[in-house]
């Protein structure tokens, strides 16, 4: 068997670059030559053992992927070697109660590349028949970079969050956290017609990036009074929409208090552990606040994200700060953990 480089996850906190066999291509599969794969916060939690559901040992993770079609199975139609493609990693079953109710993003029997199937932190990724038949592989034009293609996946998650939050014209929006996800939410809120977007972020470089990408106000919550700023900017009413793009349970209750009567708080981020926290529920009750979450994305969200990238409506290149080779994965991991970068990419 031919060998390839890959980051092999053997157990929680036990991962390293190594060599594995290049997978054989079935009649309905394609083999993708990975060009860029981005590291997600969820990947970090998997590597640390903080997220284990659906994770196999040993396996290769990584679900934000873009590359070139290297080989196609004999039954595959519509794809050919050399095609530039991005992959929606979440494959719904189409038949469970969630899928039938139009919530395929919360599919009860979904499969995913980077979980049940090996993911993007390897030179060649097998895209199974199941993904192709479900419409999870999207062709990209030449002008879309591999970096942008890899980030279509997290952008599609943010579009799902935007739709759940209901962000729209003339809204005052607060984004809590200016990591890659928060910066995508910032841009989407502006595109949706938000009147004012405030970003709360303790890291100075991220606040500067938020300003560059359109934030009206970027607040350091460790040095400034976020509540006072919010109330001053909204004549004491509070924010119409708040997106929590950082998974810190202790921040949930104070964030709820920044929402206006009848407003919406979207708990977008995955929270540490069970996410257990103490909330003064009367804040929600008496102010009629809508609190919702967001998980993964629907294929339509992914298609819409791809179209936004193709048309240049959103800036993803500004969010990429580091690129490492597969064999440098430990360095990439450390950069992610330190918070020194934004989106960190892996390439062959």
pLDDT at residue 201 in the model: 98
Angle among Cα 46, 48, 52 to the nearest 5 degrees reads 40
pLDDT at residue 53 in the model: 84
CA dist 139 → 68, 171, 344 (Å)? 10, 34, 23
164-293: what CATH class? alpha beta
Nearest CA to 243 among 332, 157, 115, 169?
Answer: 157
**Claim: this prediction has a pTM higher than 0.85:** yes
* Fold (CATH) for 3-151+316-347: Quinone Oxidoreductase; Chain A, domain 1 (3.90.180)
State the residue for tokens 């199941």: 130
Q: Kindly state the DSSP code that residue 28 receives in the 8-state scheme.
A: T
Nearest CA to 210 among 176, 242, 235, 243?
Answer: 176
Spell out the domain ranges in the chain: 3-151+316-347, 164-293
pLDDT at residue 272 in the model: 72
Cβ atoms of 29 and 73 closer than 8 Å: yes
SS3 sequence of 198-252? EEECCCHHHHHHHHHCCCCEEECCCCCCHHHHHHHHCCCCCEEEEEECCCCHHHH
Q: Kindly state the DSSP code that residue 23 receives in the 8-state scheme.
A: P
Cβ atoms of 325 and 39 closer than 8 Å: no
pLDDT at residue 339 in the model: 87
pLDDT at residue 207 in the model: 98
Angle between helices 180-191 and 152-165 (to 10 degrees): 60
Strand 64-72 relative to strand 84-87: parallel, antiparallel, unpaired?
antiparallel
Nearest CA to 198 among 159, 244, 230?
Answer: 230
Structure tokens at 268: 């977008």
CA dist 85 → 114, 148, 322 (Å)? 17, 11, 22
Tens digits of per-residue pLDDT, 197-225?
A: 999 999 999 999 999 999 999 999 999 99
Cα–Cα distance, 220 to 60 (Å, whole number):
37
Mean pLDDT of residues grouped by 10 in the chain (348 residues)?
95 97 97 98 92 92 98 97 98 97 96 96 98 98 98 98 97 98 98 98 97 98 98 98 96 98 97 89 98 97 98 96 98 94 96
pLDDT at residue 273 in the model: 77
Tens digits of per-residue pLDDT, 37-61?
A: 999 999 999 999 988 888 999 999 9
End-to-end CA, the chain:
19
Strand 217-219 relative to strand 239-244: parallel, antiparallel, unpaired?
unpaired
CA dist 19 → 33, 74, 122, 310, 327 (Å)? 16, 27, 9, 34, 10
Q: Give the sign of the dihedral formed by CA 49, CA 305, CA 162, CA 182.
A: positive
């Amino acid at each position: 068997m031919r060998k390839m480089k890959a980051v092999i996850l053997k157990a929680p906190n036990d991962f390293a670059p190594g060599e594995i066999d290049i997978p054989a291509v079935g009649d309905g599969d394609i083999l993708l030559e990975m060009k860029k794969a981005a590291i997600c916060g969820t990947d970090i939690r998997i590597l640390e053992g903080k997220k284990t559901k659906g994770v196999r040992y040993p396996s290769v993770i990584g679900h934000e992927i873009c590359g070139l079609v290297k080989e196609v199975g004999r039954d595959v139609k519509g794809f050919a070697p050399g095609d530039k493609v991005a992959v929606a990693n979440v494959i719904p079953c189409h038949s469970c109660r969630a899928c039938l109710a139009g919530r395929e993003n919360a599919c009860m029997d979904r499969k995913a590349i980077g979980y049940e199937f090996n993911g993007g932190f390897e030179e060649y990724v097998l895209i199974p028949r199941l993904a192709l038949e479900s419409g999870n592989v999207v062709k990209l034009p030449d002008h879309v970079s591999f970096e942008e293609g890899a980030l279509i996946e997290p952008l599609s998650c943010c579009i799902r969050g935007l739709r759940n939050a209901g962000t729209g014209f003339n809204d005052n929006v607060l984004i809590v956290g200016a990591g890659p996800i928060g910066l995508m939410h910032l841009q989407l809120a502006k595109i949706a017609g938000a009147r004012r977007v405030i970003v709360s972020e303790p890291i100075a470089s991220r606040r500067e990036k938020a300003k560059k990408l359109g934030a009206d106000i970027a607040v350091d919550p460790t040095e400034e009074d976020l509540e006072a700023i919010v109330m001053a900017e909204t004549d004491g009413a509070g924010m119409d929409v708040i997106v929590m793009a950082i998974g810190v349970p202790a921040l949930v209750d104070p964030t709820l208090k920044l929402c206006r009567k009848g407003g919406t708080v979207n708990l977008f981020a995955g929270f540490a552990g069970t996410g257990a926290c103490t909330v003064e529920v009367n804040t929600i009750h008496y102010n009629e606040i809508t609190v919702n979450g967001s998980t993964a994305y629907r294929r339509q969200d992914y298609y819409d994200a791809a179209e936004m990238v193709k048309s240049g409506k959103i800036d993803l290149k500004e969010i990429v700060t580091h690129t490492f080779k597969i064999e440098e994965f430990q360095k990439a991991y450390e950069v992610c953990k330190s918070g020194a970068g934004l989106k960190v990419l892996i390439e062959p």
